[in-house]
Structure 1
Amino acid sequence: MTESASAAAEVQRLLRPDLRGRTAYGAPQLDVPVRLNTNENSYPVPQAVVDAILEALAGDVASLNRYPDRDFADLRAALTAYVVRQSGVPVTPEQVWAGNGSNEVLSHVVQAFGGSGRVALGFTPSYSMHPIISETLGATWVDGLRGAGRPGAFDLTAEAAAEQARRHHPAVVFLCSPNNPTGTALPFEVITAVLEAAPDAIVVVDEAYAEFARAGTRSALTLVADNPRLVVTRTMSKAFAFAGGRLGYLVAAPEVVDALRLVRLPYHLSTPTQTIARVALEHAELMLGTVEVIKAQRDRIVERLATLGAAPVASDSNFVLFGGLADEKATWQALLDRGVLVRDVGIAHHLRVTAGDPEETTAFLEAMVALAPTHLATTHEQETVA
């Protein structure tokens, strides 16, 4: 046995048994002309915001010998102001919590309310980090069903969600609206039905893509005041074009926020992170200036793929799940060979593509036009990309 093989075997022996054989989460990070696989905002941070951040950071550097504000008061105030302005829902800083990306915020919730001997319930296909966070923190994960178990169906009814919540007695329930990877907003009555059916659970509504939702889509934020077991999580990674800034947050009852202090690591948000996020929030209108353009490209993808004979899912997010593929892995590779990277989310005959800027969208659609005759299970007469 080689030295590296021996070390690997020793590590596996010492590793928690429930972690053996797992693979780490992550999408391919490949150097290709068109990267549309991780739902990033394709537009760079505006120069005016860059300048403001650099100016603000200059004042932080000399004090990096000191720990950051443990309760990030200024950032919480900025997040509160943004949430109130964006949603129209009254929120106080005592209801807001933040972490290094929404994944850390979600992990705080599971640490505090899930864990060993408790059940976490989600409805797949959905965000793949929900089960990863739950299981690695010791909770028992239950894959709830969408579409009443019908192959290829992604809808989730209030009745089906409530029945599964009653059956599994969860301590934490994950709902996702708009849902990743399907892109669909959740029927609002699902949230209220689950809250009623799972009286001993914290119900998390993951609204990472809320800013991209179509007009008239309601936010679960409107239910927080009357439901102390409801948590709504959001992120600055998507609409804010701030994925590298790593800032996620939640809104919940102040008592829930207080409970999360029990599990957070000391000083978990660095001084630069707090400053960068706060300045970005102060420039929210500028940072969100590309949202409507991205939504237009999303709708363009849905419309064009439908004319090609694919089966795109109407989306409230910045990405589109599309089916109708004879072999999704072969199509993924064929797109990559043409310089376009999309996401294989593990659903047979489906792929997911991020809505990029107009040039990136055109590159993807032109590639799909070329591939349609051999890669779509059913094709229509091919036309020039609109």
Structure 2
Amino acid sequence: MTAFSDLPIRDDLRGLTPYGAPQVHVPIQLNVNENTHGIPEDVARDVVESVAAAVLGMNRYPDREFTELRESLAGYLAADVAPERTGSTQTITAEQVWAANGSNEILQQILQAFGGPGRSVLGFPPTYSMHSIIAAGTGTRWIAGERGDDYALTPGIVTDWIERTEPDLVFLCAPNNPTGTPLGLDVIEAAYAASRGMVVVDEAYAEFMPDDAPRATTLLPGRERLIVSRTMSKAFAFAGARLGYLAADPAVADALRLVRLPYHLSALTQAAAVAALRHAPEMLAMVDDIRSQRDRMLRELPALGYSAHDSWANFVLFGGVRDPRAVFEALLGEGIIIRDIGIPNHLRVTAGTEAETSAFLDALAALGASQSEPVDRILG
């Protein structure tokens, strides 16, 4: 059988591996940060009815500008900058919003428009693995910056890396994946001030942040090179629908129109997303439960001998694992899959339902202390 490396593939892609989250069907799947809560029945019914209506017009191309969807997303994002939250009269308009098939396509279009051969993007590993993979796919040079203690970023760290490397784009993750690390607005402001290129803040897990934590969207006025990327895959439990979006200066959407494929968002995707956004409060009602299960793991994992890193996302990175692969396989044998993300002595687990979280913690406890290193050895 021919390997793809035997084909005349681009030289800069040789030796790379594709995104590889395991796809294993087991009863408890806590490995890819999905929202494991089901979609409420009345919301599902509205989505189905909306998609069915769109099917009747499938002989025509969809709205290329996905106008209704952009208006719905702008209405949803308006809560980020509402006067009662920010004290300002700032708003977000449909002209500032762009959408695509998942936030990965959003990031790809950004790099197609502002990156490419001869250009570079600065990121700060460990971070979302698709950042560097999409960079490679678009021929954009990936620069791996470094984080501080406990994976934190500070204004000084990002400013130093930007001044030394002069990237065309900067990718920041708020909160960061896979560490859950919060990112202060002061870090974003510092990155923007130091950079002459585009600054992209990946806020895929924004809804799991504390309610009073300001979002990066509040920094958009006067910053035409700032892009805030979001997704409906996580808090909205819409991973299978594939809908990502961004907020930025309207000129950014104009730039992305140059690289997007014609009619890139299907009529079915648009209809489903608009229907889900009509039920935003109901869809997000499960967020508090997810955060409570995340915080529960932050409390209980140390009691089992592991070190849990603070998280503002819907997952927890925990250290002190003597043999991550052995723990991963042992849990898999119990019908539970979590994620080995390649950080030595660490594993990552998604916050699921109360029952799923209990099953994970009970199974981990049953493995015994032989699977964990002393916490003070990991932290000190």
Q: Same fold (TM over 0.5)?
A: yes
Instruction: Check whether the contact 2:80–2:218 (CA below 8 A) recurs between aligned residues.
Output: no
Which residue of structure 1 aligns with residue 125 of structure 2? Answer: 124
CA-CA distance at 1:306 after TM superposition: 1.4
- Between the aligned partners of 1:283 and 1:216, the Cα distance in structure 2 is 22
Give the one of 191, 194, 199 matched to 2:191. 194
Question: Of 68, 73, 76, which residue of structure 2 is paired with 1:79?
Answer: 73
Corresponding residue to 2:3 among 5, 8, 32: 8
- 1:217-256 alignment to 2 at 5 Å? 217-256=213-252
What does 1:121-270 align with in structure 2 at a 5 Å threshold?
121-147=122-148, 153-199=150-196, 201-270=197-266
d(CA) in 1 for partners of 2:68, 2:99: 12
CA apart distance, 1:58: 2.2
Q: Does 1:323 align with 2:349?
A: no
Which amino acid counterpart does residue 332 of structure 1 have in structure 2?
A: F
In structure 1, what is the equivalent of residue 87 of structure 2? none
Query: CA contact under 8 A between 1:313 and 1:322: conserved in structure 2?
Result: yes
What residue is the counterpart of 2:351 in the other structure?
355
Structure 1 residues 63, 355: CA separation in 2 closer, same or farther (over 3 Å shift)?
Answer: same
Scaled by the length of structure 2, what TM-score is found? 0.94
Query: What is the TM-score of this pair, normalised by structure 1?
Result: 0.93
Q: Supply the distance in 1 between the matched residues of 2:335 and 2:296 (Cα, whole angstroms).
A: 20
Matched, 1:343 2:339: yes
What is the match of residue 56 of structure 2? 62
Amino acid at match of 1:362: S
Q: Return 5+ residue gaps in structure 1 as ranges.
A: 381-386
Q: Kindly indicate whether the alpha-carbon contact (under 8 Å) linking 1:373 and 1:379 is maintained by their aligned counterparts in 2.
A: no
User: Residue 153 of structure 2: SS of its match in structure 1?
Assistant: coil
Whole-angstrom CA distance in 2 between matches of 1:336 and 1:193: 43
Question: Which residue number corresponds to residue 13 of structure 2?
Answer: 19
Question: Any idea what SS the aligned residue of 2:3 has?
Answer: helix
Number of the residue aligned with 2:86? none
Q: Is the 8 A contact 1:49 1:280 kept in 2?
A: yes
SS of equivalent to 1:22: coil
Rounded to whole Å, the distance in 1 between the matches of 2:60 and 2:152 is 50
Q: Specify the alignment match of 2:26 in structure 1.
A: 32
Classify the secondary structure of the residue corresponding to 2:7. Answer: helix
Distance in 2 of aligned mates of 1:372 and 1:218: 40
The alignment partner of 1:234 has SS state of strand
The match for 1:384 is none
- Count of residues in Structure 1 that have an aligned counterpart in Structure 2: 369
Deviation, 1:184, is: 1.6
Q: Which runs of 4 or more aligned residues in structure 1 lie more than 2 Å from their structure 2 counterparts after TM superposition?
A: 85-89
Structure 2 residue identity aligned to 1:8: A
2:363 maps to 1:367: yes
Which deviates the most, 71-80 or 60-69?
Answer: 60-69
Residue 303 in structure 1 maps to residue 326 in structure 2: no
1:255-279 CA distance string (max 9 Å, x none): 1111110000000000000000000
Deviates more, 1:19-28 or 1:30-39: 19-28
Unaligned ranges ≥5, structure 2 = 83-89
Deviation at 1:87, TM superposition (A): 4.5
Indicate conservation of the 8 Å contact 2:338/2:347, yes or no: yes
Structure 1 residues 372, 161: CA separation in 2 closer, same or farther (over 3 Å shift)?
farther
Q: Match of 2:159, as an amino acid?
A: A
SS at match of 1:121: strand
Matched residue SS, 1:145: coil
Is 1:96–2:67 an aligned residue pair?
no
Distance 2:209 2:125 in 1: 20
User: In structure 1, what is the Cα distance between the partners aligned to 2:210 and 2:236?
Assistant: 17
Q: In structure 2, how many angstroms separate the alpha carbons of the residues matched to 1:79 and 1:247?
A: 11
Which of 36, 46, 58 lines up with 1:42 in the alignment? 36
Structure 2 CA distance, aligned partners of 1:57 and 1:326? 49
The answer for the alignment partner of 1:53 in structure 2 is 47
Query: Which whole-Å CA distance do the structure 2 matches of 1:8 and 1:164 have between them?
Result: 38
How many Å separate the matches in 2 of 1:58 and 1:160?
51
Counterpart CA distance in 1 for 2:80 and 2:285 is: 13
Aligned CA-pair RMSD: 1.4
Q: What letter corresponds to residue 224 of structure 2 in structure 1?
A: P
Answer yes or no: is the 8 Å Cα contact 2:304–2:369 preserved in 1.
Answer: no
Q: For structure 1, which segment, 46-55 or 86-95, has the greater mean C-alpha deviation from structure 2 after superposition?
A: 86-95
SS in 2 for 1:331: helix
2:80–2:215 CA contact under 8 A, matched in 1: no
